Structure 1
Amino acid sequence: MKNELLKIGPFTIYGYGLMIAIGILAAYFTGENRAKKQKLPYEHVFYLVVWCVVGGFLGAKILYWITEWKSIVENPGFLGDTLTDGFVVFGGIIGGILTAYVYCKVEKLDFLKFFDTLMPSVALAQGFGRIGCLLAGCCYGKETESALSITFHTSTFAPNGVALIPTQIYSSILDFIHYGLLLLILKRQKRDGETAAAYLIFYSAGRFVLEFFRGDLARGSVGVLSTSQFISLFTFVAGIVLLVVFSGRDEKKGL
């Protein structure tokens, strides 16, 4: 894979950045279209996407620094050296959701309805983002002798010349499937919050399993679990709790 896709004079178009941009645009256009169908004030989708991207990148960066706290203690300059690389997706998800919640509160919008409407688009954006990871060579898998492998030659992240499990491809496929499943749930949901809860449950379960095949172990760990697996346990339970809470609200309304 090659991350530097095109050079125009002093400017370079990187595959990772391009895929992130495509993912954000895809999230915006699909989210706005669904907001219109859901009769929501769709003009807020643009601002929600912008603020969620800001909050998401900030959350992803902060969580990365937390996982690398030992490196920061040993060398405080590590903070400045990693301003443009090093992100943890779970931090981005948490940061994005919190930013969306604050925005909806400030603008007096129905957070749950927007939460449900936009979460499928988040899964879609993640699918494109993982293609970017594939081009860059980050988020790589463990060494393997399987025919289903990928070998990098010019990556600055993955070990070059070694057959690796293509975790980026698997992640991307799962994200696109996730997107389709969430759309089906959104169309059939009976209570606000079901789609958002399903996102947390599905993503957490998938990420927990995929982490066993990841080879970039420098991302931190909690006991025998990677940092992302540890967080997955809490987000999975959070998704289950949300389903129960929303179901309880519906029952109380019916009394």
Structure 2
Amino acid sequence: MNEAIKPLNPIAFELGPFAVHWYGIIIGIGALLGLWIAIKESEKRGLQKDTFIDLVLFAIPIAILCARAYYVIFEWDYYSEHPGEIIQIWNGGIAIHGGLIGAIVTGYVFSRVKNLSFWKLADIAAPSILLGQAIGRWGNFVNQEAHGESVTRGFLESLHLPDFIINQMYINGQYYHPTFLYESLWSFVGVIILLWLRRANLRRGELFLGYIIWYSIGRFFIEGMRTDSLMLTDTLRMAQVISIVLIVLAIVVIIVRRVKGYSAQRYAE
């Protein structure tokens, strides 16, 4: 490895025997910012201030557990031989689709218990979820994971990237596509679009379904560039298959809900 290029230390600081990793800090920052946005919007939409605080107390831990379980299941050949690493989530290895499944199920159960509209909660949360994903990808950056194929330094410089990103993409003697960055930027753009669509006053549920479609389109193409994909078969990438399924499902749900009159209410109502 080029001695002049040293990767960032994944450990932010240590408290006695405990090491606090940047990965966890970054994910935590994304979650807190997303929660703040959701709380502000929920108050405008007539919900109690603590509604989303109560929700995330369940949703975030469950989503993280599901995201980790999803990843471990599809990497079982490795973890079956290294069971002690299953809980080492601070080293990376969580799947967003697994976390999304856990969060959606938790949100649905929560809405039923609290007698609230699931679609109303989902619409309010959509920009926050995508913001958390956009910020969370920088945890992959620190861990030097979720990258693409090898490239030259000249290629990275042609993208006008700052040196700290280029240098961090130097892994084991090779430079790599910063696919974490591509997905982060795609998600940030999506957050802006979703916040704008709030003013368009879409039918209830369609803001969240729009989030599903936007994220899945970007994930499908960016996943094809990655080298660390979870594989369904030798040729099928799990995230790409799930993305296609989610896009089709979201479009079908939008159409069915409109035809059946289930989406008569608007976002702002």
Fold in common (TM above 0.5): yes
Structure 1 residues 83 and 8, CA, compared in 2 at 3 Å: closer, same or farther?
Answer: closer
Q: Distance in 2 between matches of 1:14 and 1:249?
A: 49
Q: Distance in 1 between matches of 2:256 and 2:66?
A: 26
Q: Residue deviations 1:118-171, cap 9 Å, x none?
A: 111000011110111111112122111352273448xxxx94231000111111
2:161 corresponds in structure 1 to none
- 1:147 equivalent to 2:147? Answer no
1:204 corresponds in structure 2 to 216
Consecutive unaligned residues of structure 1, counting only runs of 5 or more, are none
State the one-letter code of the partner of 1:148: L
1:240 corresponds in structure 2 to 251
1:106 corresponds in structure 2 to 113
CA contact (8 A) 2:204 2:264 kept: no
Secondary structure of residue in 2 paired with 1:147: helix
CA contact (8 A) 2:67 2:99 kept: yes
CA contact (8 A) 2:231 2:237 kept: yes
1:135 corresponds in structure 2 to 142
CA contact (8 A) 1:152 1:162 kept: no
CA contact (8 A) 2:220 2:243 kept: yes
Q: Residue deviations 1:89-135, cap 9 Å, x none?
A: 11011111111111111111111101000111000011110111111
TM-score (norm 1): 0.88
Task: List aligned pairs for 1:48-67, cutoff 5 A.
Answer: 48-67=55-74
Q: Distance in 1 between matches of 2:257 and 2:107?
A: 19
Identity %: 30
Find 1:229's aligned residue among 205, 221, 240: 240
CA contact (8 A) 1:191 1:250 kept: no
Mean CA deviation greater in 224-233 or 117-126: 224-233
Structure 1 residues 247 and 137, CA, compared in 2 at 3 Å: closer, same or farther?
Answer: same
Mean CA deviation greater in 197-206 or 12-21: 12-21
Find 1:89's aligned residue among 96, 102, 114: 96
CA contact (8 A) 2:148 2:227 kept: yes
- 1:177 equivalent to 2:189? Answer yes
Q: Distance in 1 between matches of 2:66 and 2:118?
A: 20
Cα RMSD after superposing both structures: 2.3
CA contact (8 A) 2:79 2:86 kept: no
CA contact (8 A) 2:133 2:184 kept: yes
Find 2:22's aligned residue among 8, 15, 32: 15
Secondary structure of residue in 2 paired with 1:163: strand
Q: Residue deviations 1:186-243, cap 9 Å, x none?
A: 22133101101101101111000001111214x2233522111111111111211121
